[in-house]
Structures are given as structure tokens and as C-alpha cells.
């Protein structure tokens, strides 16, 4: 895993499927071409950083190729994945290597203490920042 971790925004539904093991890839229209670690920010109604994931090097492919990967993970997801990639010629399938929940850090705390605004897709955590330090403490305190 290279550099500082990311904060990756996810909706609670796809996150639940990752936790259950039904979804083994996260799909993105744009993403760095490298293995990545990320704290997962769950959108409303959760509105908190609530997990940490490690992803392998992304699989870069056409919307059809990526939809086929999604369909292998979860039957019935081909059309929705294809729709997600509408308008782009390539996208990214991030293979999930590991995932663990952490004590949630709510958006109110993130905003008030660190001036955090949830990313639409993802953003890198500034190396050495107070936010990185606090997130790493949450990760270390997990069983």
C-alpha cells in the first residue's frame, strides 16, 4: 500500500454487501492505479468514517468488462454497474483484500474538529495531519 491512506466515500448499502462478503470489488470511474488503503466514510444516514479497507491494484477495464466482474461477485448487478460507468470508456474495479470496522467517527466530529468535508468519491488524508493521527488511533484500538 502506498503513501497516506485515502478516505473513500461509500453508500451504506454497498458497504453492507462488502462486510457480508457478497461484494468483493469496489467500482470507481476514476482512481489511482495502485494498491490502496482507505478509511471508509459512509454517507447518510450513517455519516461517519466507520471502517478501514485494503484494496489490491485496481483492475482497469471497459464498462462491459467491469460489469462482468460485478456480475460474478453479485448476480444481477451487471446492468447497474454498466449504468454507473455510462459516459466513460474505462473504469476501475478495486479488489477488496481486507475490511474491518472501526469505532465510527461521526461527520459532526470530523467537521468541527478537523474541518472535514466528505469527498464525493475519495481524497488522500494529509500525511502527518491531526486527522490521520486520529483515524490511525481508531484503527489501532480495534480488536
Domain 6-140, CATH number (from 1.10.10.350, 2.30.130.30, 2.40.100.10, 3.40.190.10)? 2.30.130.30
DSSP E strand stretches across 57-121: 59-61, 91-106
Look at residue 4 in the predicted model and tell me its pLDDT.
Answer: 78
What residue ranges do the domains of the chain occupy?
6-140
- Close Cβ partners of 111 (under 8 Å, ≥ 6 residues apart): 117
Look at residue 3 in the predicted model and tell me its pLDDT.
Answer: 66
**Cβ neighbours around 16 below 10 Å, total:** 13
- Percentage above 70 pLDDT, the chain: 97
10-residue averages of pLDDT along the chain (143 residues): 82 94 95 95 97 97 98 95 97 97 96 95 93 93 69
pTM: 0.92
Please name the helix (run of DSSP H) or strand (run of DSSP E) that holds residue 46, with its range, or none: none
Read off the pLDDT of residues 86-109 as tens digits, 9 standing for 90 and up. 999 999 999 999 999 999 999 999
Amino acid at each position: 500500500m502506498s503513501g497516506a491512506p485515502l478516505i473513500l466515500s461509500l453508500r451504506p448499502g454497498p458497504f453492507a454487501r462488502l462486510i457480508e462478503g457478497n461484494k468483493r470489488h469496489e467500482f470507481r470511474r476514476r482512481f489511482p492505479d495502485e494498491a490502496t488503503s482507505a478509511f471508509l466514510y459512509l454517507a447518510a444516514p450513517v455519516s461517519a468514517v466507520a471502517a478501514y479497507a485494503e484494496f489490491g491494484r485496481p483492475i482497469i477495464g471497459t464498462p462491459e468488462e467491469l460489469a462482468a466482474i460485478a456480475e460474478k461477485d453479485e448476480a444481477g448487478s451487471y446492468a447497474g454497474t454498466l449504468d454507473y460507468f455510462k459516459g466513460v470508456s474505462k473504469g476501475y474495479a478495486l479488489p477488496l483484500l481486507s475490511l474491518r470496522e472501526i469505532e465510527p467517527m461521526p461527520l459532526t466530529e470530523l467537521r468541527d474538529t478537523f474541518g472535514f468535508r466528505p469527498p464525493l468519491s475519495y481524497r488522500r488524508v494529509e500525511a502527518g495531519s491531526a486527522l490521520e493521527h486520529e483515524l490511525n488511533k481508531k484503527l489501532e484500538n480495534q480488536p
